[in-house]
Structure 1
Amino acid sequence: MSLGFIMLVHTAFDRAEQVARYWASNGCPVVIHVDGKVRPARFRAFRDQFRDDPMIRFSRRTRVEWGKWSLVRATQFAAERLLADFPDVRHVFLASGSCLPLRPVSELRDYLDAHPETDFIESVTTEQVTWTVDGLEAERFTLRFPFSWRKQRKLFDAYVRFQRRFGLRRRIPEGVSPHLGSQWWCLTRRTLSSILSAPDRASMDAYFAKVWIPDESYFQSLARRYSTQIESRSLTLSKFDVQGKPHVFYDDHQPLLERSDCFVARKIWPRADRLYEVFLDDTRLANRGAEPNPGKIDRVFSKANERRGQGRPGLYSQARFPSPGLENGLTCARYNIFSGFDFLFDGFEPWLARRIGGRIHGHLYAPERAEFAGGETLMNGCLSDSAALRDYRPTQFLTNLLWSTRGERQSFFIGPHDAQDVVPFVTSDPNATIAAVTGAWAVPLLTSNLGFDAIKAEAARLQRVELAFLKELKSPGLAARVHVWPLADFVAQPTEKLQNVLSEITGPSPRRLTDLPPMRDLTGFRDFLLRLRDGGVKPQVMGDLALFPTKTDGGAKHGSV
């Protein structure tokens, strides 16, 4: 009997029972501390299940709170009983009720037999700590913490600031070198007994009781006083995310856990039936002699933490939105926005689809509905064409559409008739390519059956909207690729200008544009604009009016194709 286990249990009692019986059946005594917050009836039912097993005992209970001295006190209670009841134990292994052995107990015993005087406990000085998240390092030993970090966070932070401001400090006891490390250790009997029976234990306990998160520093610091040989590492695999919370292992993590070669892992999901079935089976293939090496899987966890902290580009959690400027990419893929072309050309959408491929939508932000490609009413990701749903979060509508259709480039049209809330977002997005012919919205008005007063009012409204759109295209935060031409400049050389846009979208091609969809008749367009001007609506976005044909010109004078 060279190895004993301490288990700190507060939930998932069925799994804790499985693991405790596994260790006991392999000749290892187990002392269990059950959180004092567990109801007496539940505790008695759990304890009574072990009446027939002399290798499993229970320690005195205390109510445990995260980050408080009670967690160390619970460990002390269990350690004292283990050392008193089982004098043959040489190494004491601290585990939790959510821990799971990854290798047979015989391998762990052989490993410790090869290191009979070694204490396995992560123990590093405060200057060397690199893993704390939103935590205190050296100050946890010199400040006072009367308030709970979890339950009284505002008071906790305020009192820390108060102590810093007025220079209030606690004195570190003589002979104590502050060290930090993982709570999960494996200590020799000699070292653990020395800590628990030290003549100055009362003063040490009183000091560490006021240290923040003492379970990460009490044994880690005091082991340095008594140990003759420390390996500053834990034999328990325990990984943490970017918020300092432990990673939870599920059934599909089995290959990862096996690759680590660690003896124990924390924290296992209680319903991971396959993990408990596989790792509590001593007939599985042994891995004798392998050195525990969690570094083998560090890359996987680093990648997971990176993804946890940054997310995937363009994917937004429905539970929490990132703060502005902290997104990992506004969108997940390149996309194109065209403005004015469908007013100027007949059949521009099918022509564009043949040229650049992908999916060509109509006006996604039209007032009545989102005009999905092919007249669809429901898109990938269950995106509805409902204008009300779209306008509730217009930017998320676009990001969800791009995410749900990734792998296929999306294009859509926007104009001054459409909702404009998404414009600041797309102009700040490097994935967006925006091509706009300003003033093209006036072409349909030329042949409109509306009265002239109604046309003037509509022209004034659309021009105001387009001027705001142009202002966004010139904003300091512009990141989109932008091509903007006044209508007069575009109709003078449409082929060349469209060629530049398509080359940017699809890449340079030796084939030049030789055909364009038919342009709408602009005969009399100049006269129409002059009439608007004389009626009080000055055309500002169409360019040089002299470039447009009049009724007497006998036809549209636009560039050849």
Structure 2
Amino acid sequence: MSKIAYILLCHQAPEAIIAQAQRLTATGDFVSIHYDKRAPQSTYQEIVDALESNPRVTFAEKRIKCGWGAWSLVEATLSALSSAAKSFPRATHFYLTSGDCMPIKSAEYIHDALDRVDCDYIEGHDFFRSDWIKTGLKEERLIYRFHFNERTQAKLFYASLALQQKLKITRQPPADLQMMIGSQWWCLRRATVEKVLAFCDERPDVMRFFATTWIPDEIFFQTVVRHLVPVSEIQNRTPTFLIFSDYGMPVNFYDDHYDLLLGQNYFFARKISVEALELRQRLGDLYAEEGHEFHLSGEGRRVYSFLTGRGRIGRRFASRFWERDSSIGLEREVLILACKKWHVAKRLAERIHEKTGLPYVGYLFHELDANLPDLGGIETTLEKRHRHRRALIRLLMDNYDTDRIMFCVDTADLELLRDFDSARCEVRILELECEFSEDYLVGHAERLNLIGADAPSETVSRLLPTLRADIEFESRAIRENGFESLSRVRQSDDDASRAAGLIDFLQVPEDDAREILDLHYLFSD
């Protein structure tokens, strides 16, 4: 069975590197870490201290100060690769990855795939004839010498290039090598790695040439492997899924890309955003799973290209129905329980649901935790719910596969009641009129942050009459608004009067209404 030695190139986030190494070695594989020498020694030491007791982890023989597009990246890779080859004689494959990469398949799946086909996974296209390079320098990368880094020494970089072009100082690649180019990320067999390391010792001319080549990490291994290994033993593809934007920058993946990533025919993915904590956790758990079946669709790049293209013409997202149509539906029925005491309305709603099966939700426009199902994001904030209130009700009806739904509203939200009453659907409102003791009003004032628990009795005495009058005003405003279908169930009513209000609201027989109201603690605090 295959054993993988992961070559981990990294430069930041020591906690993530430690977690990645522990995750990859927990399933029996190995890790060789190169931590950029530009990073603080203290963070490198943190990684060493955390992993030094793990026999499946080793570190690069030499730490290199790495620069984007420079030979130092290849040098760092070779350092970690050499260390891995010496430290892990049981490793059958060597997989180059980074701190931004995560597995998108289980270890079981990756091992089985490597066992089935005896090959190297490395992308390589003819440097001069292919169109792999989309923008920037192409032939110039090889025929000129680059002693400066474009990102950190831009003036010197372009001045040196211009001088060589002016003086026509060029060079030729090694004559016996066909120059290839492709993705930096690969997975090579042990025999191939041993040949590459030996080649580096035997061909100092090749090493000198690539040491002054621009972006050699896309050329060196791709060229050398094809020089040493028969084409029939090479899978011309990277085992790591990545997407580049039109500007040549790698696209980041986030929490909602989990299913998309699992459907790609690759072993790892790059780049996983540092903010995608949930995605990192799920992918980490996935790597250790056994028996997971993967359904490959491979649509990742097509989806990205399509969405990017639609974005340029302002049509990246399909129009949401709540932006096109704000009606609920003439054939649909909305039942609203309006009550100042939320626990009373919830009790009655639950009782009605038990006896009739009528779907209901609680104070969905007032409290975030209203036990709502996933509705595509419209339910995530109270602001969204209010802004698309009718659409929210339609989505709930669709979710519960019903044309009738019931929810609760605070009596203070008269505007909400008015809006639903004017909607193109049948709306019935039942006001639950409660009695309010002084103790309840004091608690209500505390919940509104009007007073603290140790408020002086004089302050409370002055406040309570105003609170009571305010609640009475809300109830009166509802009655005076002229709603087309408004019923009432009052705490002070006898059983017959309560039943009459519920019959009018639910359109049920009297016996059913009385059974629903047979709840002695309905109005209890």
Global fold match (TM > 0.5): yes
Tell me, what secondary structure is at the counterpart of 2:155?
A: helix
One-letter amino acid of the counterpart of residue 306, structure 2 = K
The CA deviation string for residues 97-151 of structure 1, in whole angstroms up to 9 with x for no partner, is 11101111111111111122x1100111123433424322232111111221112
Match of 1:122 in 2: 123
Match of 1:297 in 2: 300
Tell me, what secondary structure is at the counterpart of 2:269?
A: strand
Structure 2 distance, partners of 1:131, 1:15, is 32
Change (3 A) 1:139 1:113: same
Change (3 A) 1:29 1:285: closer
Match of 2:208 in 1: 206
Contact 1:278 1:284 survives alignment (8 Å):
no
One-letter amino acid of the counterpart of residue 42, structure 2 = A
Question: Mapping of 1:108-147 within 5 angstroms?
Answer: 108-116=110-118, 118-147=119-148
Structure 2 distance, partners of 1:75, 1:290, is 33
Question: Mapping of 1:28-39 within 5 angstroms?
Answer: 28-39=29-40
CA RMSD of aligned residues (A): 2.3
Task: Compare CA radii of gyration and give the structure with the larger one.
Answer: 1
Structure 1 distance, partners of 2:302, 2:45, is 44
Change (3 A) 1:259 1:285: farther
The alignment-based identity, stated in percent, is 32
Structure 1 distance, partners of 2:43, 2:3, is 32
Question: Mapping of 1:301-312 within 5 angstroms?
Answer: 301-306=304-309, 310=312, 312=314
TM-score (norm 1): 0.52
- The structural deviation recorded for 1:32 is 0.5
Select between 38-47 and 297-306 the one with higher mean Cα deviation: 297-306
Which of 103, 106, 111 in structure 1 is aligned with 2:105?
103
- Structure 1 unmatched ranges of 5 or more: 315-561
The CA deviation string for residues 335-355 of structure 1, in whole angstroms up to 9 with x for no partner, is xxxxxxxxxxxxxxxxxxxxx
- Structure 2 unmatched ranges of 5 or more: 317-525
Change (3 A) 1:53 1:204: same
Tell me, what secondary structure is at the counterpart of 1:254?
A: helix
Match of 2:68 in 1: 66
Does residue 233 (structure 1) correspond to residue 242 (structure 2)? The answer is no
Does residue 218 (structure 1) correspond to residue 203 (structure 2)? The answer is no
Structure 2 distance, partners of 1:242, 1:227, is 33
Structure 2 distance, partners of 1:47, 1:244, is 34
Does residue 280 (structure 1) correspond to residue 284 (structure 2)? The answer is yes
Contact 2:263 2:294 survives alignment (8 Å):
no
Contact 2:121 2:238 survives alignment (8 Å):
yes
Structure 2 distance, partners of 1:280, 1:8, is 18
- The structural deviation recorded for 1:169 is 1.4
Question: Mapping of 1:368-383 within 5 angstroms?
Answer: none
Question: Mapping of 1:520-539 within 5 angstroms?
Answer: none
One-letter amino acid of the counterpart of residue 273, structure 1 = L
Match of 1:244 in 2: 248
Contact 2:17 2:47 survives alignment (8 Å):
no
The CA deviation string for residues 39-74 of structure 1, in whole angstroms up to 9 with x for no partner, is 111211121001221101111211111011110010
Structure 2 distance, partners of 1:85, 1:126, is 34
One-letter amino acid of the counterpart of residue 196, structure 1 = L
Select between 168-177 and 75-84 the one with higher mean Cα deviation: 168-177
Change (3 A) 1:39 1:236: same
Structure 1 distance, partners of 2:313, 2:93, is 42
Match of 1:258 in 2: 262
Tell me, what secondary structure is at the counterpart of 2:8?
A: strand
Contact 1:132 1:244 survives alignment (8 Å):
no
Contact 2:4 2:30 survives alignment (8 Å):
yes
Structure 2 distance, partners of 1:256, 1:290, is 10
Structure 1 distance, partners of 2:307, 2:58, is 39
Match of 1:173 in 2: 174
Question: Mapping of 1:443-522 within 5 angstroms?
Answer: none
Change (3 A) 1:131 1:85: same
Select between 156-165 and 14-23 the one with higher mean Cα deviation: 156-165
Change (3 A) 1:261 1:313: closer
- The structural deviation recorded for 1:311 is 6.4
- The structural deviation recorded for 1:165 is 4.1
The CA deviation string for residues 493-519 of structure 1, in whole angstroms up to 9 with x for no partner, is xxxxxxxxxxxxxxxxxxxxxxxxxxx
One-letter amino acid of the counterpart of residue 271, structure 2 = K
Change (3 A) 1:142 1:17: same
Tell me, what secondary structure is at the counterpart of 2:84?
A: helix
Tell me, what secondary structure is at the counterpart of 1:108?
A: helix
Contact 2:14 2:43 survives alignment (8 Å):
no
Contact 1:261 1:290 survives alignment (8 Å):
no
Contact 1:16 1:98 survives alignment (8 Å):
no
The CA deviation string for residues 309-366 of structure 1, in whole angstroms up to 9 with x for no partner, is x46389xxxxxxxxxxxxxxxxxxxxxxxxxxxxxxxxxxxxxxxxxxxxxxxxxxxx
The CA deviation string for residues 472-492 of structure 1, in whole angstroms up to 9 with x for no partner, is xxxxxxxxxxxxxxxxxxxxx
Change (3 A) 1:304 1:285: farther
Change (3 A) 1:307 1:313: closer
Match of 1:481 in 2: none
Match of 1:269 in 2: 273
Contact 1:95 1:184 survives alignment (8 Å):
yes
Contact 1:240 1:246 survives alignment (8 Å):
yes
Structure 2 distance, partners of 1:311, 1:48, is 52
Match of 2:483 in 1: none
Structure 2 distance, partners of 1:125, 1:288, is 36
- The structural deviation recorded for 1:261 is 3.4
Match of 2:18 in 1: 17
One-letter amino acid of the counterpart of residue 181, structure 2 = L
Select between 163-172 and 33-42 the one with higher mean Cα deviation: 163-172
One-letter amino acid of the counterpart of residue 73, structure 1 = E
Match of 1:462 in 2: none
Change (3 A) 1:128 1:284: farther
Contact 1:3 1:93 survives alignment (8 Å):
yes
Tell me, what secondary structure is at the counterpart of 1:146?
A: coil
Structure 1 distance, partners of 2:164, 2:310, is 36
One-letter amino acid of the counterpart of residue 210, structure 1 = T
- The structural deviation recorded for 1:284 is 5.2
Structure 2 distance, partners of 1:208, 1:290, is 41
Question: Mapping of 1:539-554 within 5 angstroms?
Answer: none
TM-score (norm 2): 0.56
The CA deviation string for residues 64-101 of structure 1, in whole angstroms up to 9 with x for no partner, is 11011110010000000100111121110000011101
Tell me, what secondary structure is at the counterpart of 1:32?
A: strand
Contact 1:133 1:243 survives alignment (8 Å):
no
